[in-house]
Amino acid sequence: MKLKEILDKTTQFFKDKGIETPRLDAELLLAHGLKLERIQLYLKFDQPMKEDELATLRELVRRRAQGEPVAYILGYREFYKYRFEVNNHVLIPRPETEHVIEEVLAWAKDQKSDLGLIDLGFGSGCIGLTLLKELPQAKLVAVDISAEASAVAKRNAESLGVQDRVRFVNADAANSDAVLTAYKELTGNDKIDVLVSNPPYIASDDPQVEANVKKFEPNLALFADDQGLALLKNWSKIYSSHLAAKACVVMEMGMTQGSVMKDYFSNFNVFSEVKVIKDLAGLDRLICGVKNG
């Protein structure tokens, strides 16, 4: 059986299973299984498949057909400009989360270069570590309650070459004593310049959550009490009093949480500006608070 035939059959199989991007998924998995770049698949269409190669591909296809995300099967996901290791201990980075990066970088261009950052509930580290790559003099305290997530993020920090500018804190993000102690040790400052987070913000009974998201991604990183608002409120309240004179807070949130979180941030009487950022679909995506000094 030749490569093109395998690719076409896999694509049709995924279509029949109701997978949203059957051709793309088939290309990614076959390229991964054969240790090729995707473009090379088309240069080797007439190449016969060996039995051991077919066995490898069958296993990858089986996993995808059962709903396992492609990113977990491949072991990585591209985010912003960089590649991040992922496994089932961390959320898969989503394109909409890149809005956090864009918002912080837009604010940071007019600030000092040696910013101190805190990333609460960092998971794979995609937000905080990307910011370290983009802000070469910044330093980061990355906080997550999951030891398994911390292990993934540490490997990502090393692969990105930023491990000397990040301090990992394996603790509940509400443990401000541990977080702020690590921050002062790393930056020499008491006050936070940038706080970012993609916290759990989904209500446990939200009917719109895909079954395979619940099945494969860590529920600890998905769901929160108070209709998904509990950690957004708690973490922002805890750290709002520890911000520098000029500071930026950017947190991802759910698509119906904008008005509630805008009022909540405004009631701190800390920020010069509070705004809701919408994603490309026009849905609420980020809550942002800025202090202008």
Mean pLDDT of 137-164: 97
For the segment 62-107, what is each residue's pLDDT rounded down to a tens digit?
Answer: 999 999 999 999 999 999 999 999 999 999 999 999 999 999 999 9
Tell whether 122 is in a known binding site. Answer: yes
Strands 82-85 and 76-79: antiparallel
Give yes or no for a contact between 179 and 118, defined as CB atoms under 8 angstroms apart. yes
Confidence of residue 193 (pLDDT cuts 50, 70, 90): very high
For the segment 171-182, what is each residue's pLDDT rounded down to a tens digit?
Answer: 999 999 999 999
Q: Which of 256, 203, 209 is nearest to 231 (CA)?
A: 203
Tell whether 175 is in a known binding site. Answer: no
Tell whether 123 is in a known binding site. Answer: yes
Evaluate if residue 244 carries a pLDDT over 90.
yes
Mean pLDDT of 223-249: 96
In percent, the amount of the chain with pLDDT more than 70 equals 100
Confidence of residue 1 (pLDDT cuts 50, 70, 90): confident
> Does residue 45 or residue 12 have the better pLDDT?
12
* Residue 213, pLDDT score: 84
Give yes or no for a contact between 123 and 151, defined as CB atoms under 8 angstroms apart. no
Tell whether 200 is in a known binding site. Answer: yes
Retrieve residue 15's tokens: 């279509």
Tell whether 46 is in a known binding site. Answer: no
CA atoms within 13 A on the CB side of 83: 5
For the segment 156-169, what is each residue's pLDDT rounded down to a tens digit?
Answer: 999 999 999 999 99
Confidence of residue 210 (pLDDT cuts 50, 70, 90): confident
Give yes or no for a contact between 173 and 123, defined as CB atoms under 8 angstroms apart. no
Evaluate if residue 128 carries a pLDDT over 90.
yes
Confidence of residue 249 (pLDDT cuts 50, 70, 90): very high
Tell whether 48 is in a known binding site. Answer: no
The listed CATH number (3.40.50.150, 3.40.50.300, 3.40.50.2300, 3.10.20.740) that belongs to domain 94-292: 3.40.50.150
Tell whether 75 is in a known binding site. Answer: no
Tell whether 136 is in a known binding site. Answer: no
Q: What is the mean pLDDT of the chain?
A: 95
Tell whether 13 is in a known binding site. Answer: no
Rounded to whole angstroms, the Cα distance separating 209 from 237 reads: 27
* Whole-structure pTM value: 0.93
Confidence of residue 208 (pLDDT cuts 50, 70, 90): confident
Residue matched to tokens 């977080």: 179
User: Between the CA of residue 157 and those of 148, 154, 273, what are the distances in Å?
Assistant: 15, 5, 32
H or E element that contains 215: helix 211-216
* Residue 293, pLDDT score: 77
Tell whether 228 is in a known binding site. Answer: no
Residue 255 one-letter amino acid: M
List residues bridging with 168 in a β-sheet: 142
* Residue 103, pLDDT score: 97
The domain segmentation of the chain, as residue ranges, is 3-66, 94-292
